[in-house]
Amino acid sequence: MPAGLSEAEARSRLLAEGPNELPSERRNSFVEGVLGVLREPMLLLLAGAAALYFVLGDVVEASILLFMVGVVFGITWVQERKTERALVALRDLTSPRANVIREGKRRRVPGHEVVRGDVVMLAEGDRVPADAVVRDATNLSVEESILTGESAPVRKVAAVHGKAPSDASPGGDALPFVFSGTLVVRGHGVVEVTATGGRTALGRVGMSLREIETERTPLEREVARAVRVVASLGALACVVLVVAYGISRGEWLEGLLAGIAFAMAILPEEMPMILAVFPALGAWRISKEGVLTRRTAAIEALGATTVLCTDKTGTLTENRMRIAELRAHGLAHAVGDDPLPEAVHEVVEFGILASQRDPFDPMEIAFHSIGVEKLSGTEHLHSSWELVREYPLEPPLLSISHVWRAPEGKRFVVAAKGAPETIVDLCHLPDEERAAVTAEVRELATKGLRVLAVARAYFEPGPLPESQHDFAFRMVGLVGLEDPIRAEVPAAVAECRGAGIRVVMITGDYAETARAVAERADFSHIDIVTGAELDALDDEALGERVRTANVYVRVIPEQKLRVVRALEAGGDVVAMTGDGVNDAPALKAAH
C-alpha cells in the first residue's frame, strides 16, 4: 500500500493549486441583482413614464405605474433569488468526500481538500473526487454517463504507464483512468490524483461555459427595438411640438410641458406593463410545478421554440438498466407485465447468482429487480446460500463467476455471466451452436439492447480451480438490457410535433441504441449523424445538414455546442434539455 502524500505537502499543494472545486460564476451582490432586474427595457420604460407623469403633476397615473414596476420587480427578484439558492444547495449536496492515504494512514477528507498526488481508495458507491490514474483495480467498473451520456458502466484496469487523464477522454472500456464526478458501481481500486478542480475533465466543461455568451431571446431583442423606436418617436414629437409652440407663441416652458404631454399620449403604457408582468407571472406559476427559472425572459423563448434538442440518457430515458428480453432453449421472451415462461426462469436465477447481493452495478440491479418482481416465492431465489468464491472480470476473460454452497447441497453451484463471446468460450460450444448464439446476439444488438450471456456449472466439494475455464459450464441463455424510455416521452414528442417544434436527439451513445430510443419515442423520421461525420463538415455544410438530421450519436460536449449554434445560425429558436455535465455548453448556448 502506498504511503501517499505527507500532510505538509497536501497543505502546500492545496494553497498553491486551490481547492478541488468546479469553477462557478461569482454570485451577484444585492445591489448588482437589483440593477440587473431594473435594466430590463420594459421596466425602464415604465419607470420613465412614471417619472414624466410626476413632472406633469398626474400623481395617480404615476403611482399606478410605479406600483406595477414594484410588482414586476418583486416577482422577478424573489424568483431569481429562490432559483440561485436552490442551485447552490444542490451544488453543496453533490460535494463528495474521499478516502485518501496520507503518511501511510487512511483518512476521510472533504472532496474539496483532495490535491494532485493524493492516493485515493475507491469502492462501490463512491463518487470519484478528481481525475486520476488507476494504480490498482479489482473488478472496478465506473458509470460515466455524467460525461459521456452512456448509461452502461465501463471497466477500469491498473495503469502500465503513468499517463495523465488529461491525455485521455471519458468512455471506452479497460482504460486506466477515472474522472471527477463519475460513480463507482462495482469493485474497488486505488488511484492517484492527477488533476483537480478546473483542470479535470468536468472542470474543463465548466471553464468552457465562461466563453459562451447567454443568447438574448427573440422577445428581448424585439422589446429593445420597440423601446428604442417608441422613445425616439416620443422624443422627436416632443421636440417638434416644443419648437413649434415656442416659435409661434414664445412660451417655451408651456411648449415643453405640452411636448411632454403629447409624448406621453402616444406612449402605449399598457404594452410595457403587459410584457413585463406576464413573463414574471409565468415564472412564478411554473415554479409551483418544481421548475426553476433562472432568467424570466426564458419563459417567452420557450414559447417561441422551433427546435428542441434533447439528451438521451436521463432525459428521454430513465438512466437505469432494465431487462427487456430473455432467450433460452430457442424461446425469445419480451419482458412485460405477463409472468415469465418457465423456460427462462434459469436465466434470471443464474444471472442473480452471478451478481452481488447488494449491487451498485445497474445491470446487476436489473437482475435483482426482475427476480423480485417475477420470481418471488419460487425455488429460483436463494437468499440462504453462501458465497464461497468470486472470480472477478479480468481481461481477456470478460466474465464474472460466483461459486455458491447451498445449506442442503452436496456440491458447489457456479453461476457465470459476461460478454456472449466469453461465455460461449467457457461453455466450449460446437461451431453450429456458436453460430446460432452469435446470430441471436446480433439480432438483440440491432434492437439497441446490451447483451449478456449466462451459464451454470456444478463442482464437487474440494479445492476450487484457479481459473473459470476449469469449470464445466453449460449455456443457460441470453439477456438483453435497455435503458427504458420514459413513459411520457412519446406523447411529449407528439405534442411538440403538433406545436411545430422539431425534436432532435444529441447523445454520446452508439447509433443502434439511439435509433432504438428514437423509434420508441415515435420520432417522425430518423436521420443519424455521427460525431466523426460532424468533424468532417465545415460550418456551411453543417448548416445544411442540421436542417434534416434529428439524431446525433457519439458526440462530445463541443460538438453538441456546434450543432446548437448551427441551428441558431439557420434562424431556429433552440431549446436544449439535458441532465449531464456533457450537456452544459449546449444548454447555455441555446436560447
In a domain, 16, yes or no: no
Are 385 and 354 within 8 A, CB to CB? no
| pLDDT for residue 449 | 92
Instruction: Please indicate, yes or no, if residue 330 is contained in any of the structural domains.
Output: yes
Tell me the CATH number at 525: 3.40.50.1000
298 lies in some domain: yes
Mean pLDDT, rounded, of the chain = 82
pLDDT in tens, 442-481: 999 988 899 999 999 999 988 999 999 999 999 999 999 9
User: Which has the minimum average pLDDT: 305-309, 357-361, 582-586?
Assistant: 582-586
Amino acid 29: pLDDT: 59
Place of cell 435503458: 483
Q: Which of 49-53, 345-349, 583-587 has the lowest mean pLDDT?
A: 583-587
Do 330 and 474 belong together in one domain?
A: yes
Q: Are residues 313 and 341 in the same domain?
A: no
7 inside domain = no
Residue 383 lies in a domain: yes
Q: Residue 527 belongs to what domain range?
A: 305-318+486-589
CATH number for the domain that contains residue 154:
2.70.150.10
Do 335 and 469 have their domain in common? Answer: yes
The mean-pLDDT minimum among 249-263, 384-398, 561-575 falls in 249-263
| Same-domain pairing of 297 and 158 | no
Residue 583 vs residue 491, higher pLDDT: 491
Q: What is the mean pLDDT of residues 87-109?
A: 75
CA 128 to chain centre: 17
Where would I find the beta strands (DSSP E) of 23-123? Answer: 97-102, 105-110, 119-122
Q: Do 512 and 475 fall within a single domain?
A: no
Answer with the residue of higher pLDDT: 582 or 564. 564
What percentage of the chain reaches a pLDDT higher than 70?
Answer: 78
| Domain edge (last residue) among 169, 194, 209 | 209
DSSP for 10-52, written as a single string: HHHHHHHH--S----PPPPPHHHHHHHHHTSHHHHHHHHHHHH
Global pTM reads: 0.67
Same domain, 414 and 562: no
Catalytic residue among 118, 126, 136, 311: 311
Using 50, 70 and 90 to split pLDDT, how confident is the model at 282? confident
pLDDT band at 305 (very low <50, low <70, confident <90, very high): confident
Task: Give the residue from 209, 231, 248 where a domain finishes.
Answer: 209
Q: For the segment 4-27, what is each residue's pLDDT rounded down to a tens digit?
A: 899 999 999 999 999 998 766 555
The pLDDT value recorded for residue 248 is: 84
pLDDT at 396 over 80: no
530 and 426 in a common domain = no
Are 119 and 178 in contact by the 8 Å Cβ rule? The answer is: no
Q: Is the domain of 39 the same as that of 168? A: no
Residue predicted with more confidence, 166 or 305: 305
Q: Name the DSSP class of 315.
A: I
Q: What is the pLDDT of residue 93?
A: 45
Count of beta carbons in the 10 Å neighbourhood of residue 508: 28
> Which of 238-242, 389-393, 430-434, 540-544 has the lowest average pLDDT?
238-242
Q: What's the pLDDT tens digit per position in 252-273?
A: 767 776 776 676 666 665 566 6
CA–CA dist 362, 375 (Å, integer): 19
Residue 319 has pLDDT above 70, yes or no: yes
Residue with the bigger pLDDT between 37 and 539: it is 539
390 in the same domain as 336? yes
Does residue 194 lie in a domain region?
yes
Average pLDDT score over residue span 99-107 = 92
- pLDDT bin (cut points 50, 70, 90) of residue 155 is confident
**Percentage of residues in the chain with pLDDT exceeding 90?**
43
Cα atoms in the 13 Å half-sphere on the side-chain side of 566: 21
Tens digit of each residue's pLDDT (9 = 90 or more) over 187-207: 889 999 999 988 888 777 666
Domain-ending residue, one of 482, 499, 528: 482
Query: Is residue 298 predicted with pLDDT exceeding 90?
Result: no
473 domain residue, yes or no: yes
pLDDT tens-place string over residues 505-551:
998 888 888 999 999 999 989 999 999 999 999 999 999 999 999 99
Asked whether residue 13 is assigned to any structural domain, the reply reads no
434 and 540 in a single domain? The answer is no
In this structure, the strands spanning 474-482 and 502-506 are unpaired
8 versus 558: the higher-pLDDT residue is 8
**How many domains does one find in the chain?**
4
Residue 311 annotated as catalytic: yes
Name the more confident of 408 and 42: 408
Look at residue 214 and tell me whether its pLDDT is greater than 70: no
The pLDDT of residue 585 is 47
**In the predicted structure, residue 224 carries a pLDDT above the cut 60:** yes
Element (H, E) at 588: helix 584-589
At 211 the pLDDT is 57
Top-confidence residue, 89 or 306: 306
Question: Is the pLDDT at 213 greater than 70, yes or no?
Answer: no
Residues 188 and 226 in one domain: no
Judgement on whether residues 193 and 121 belong to the same structural domain of the protein: yes
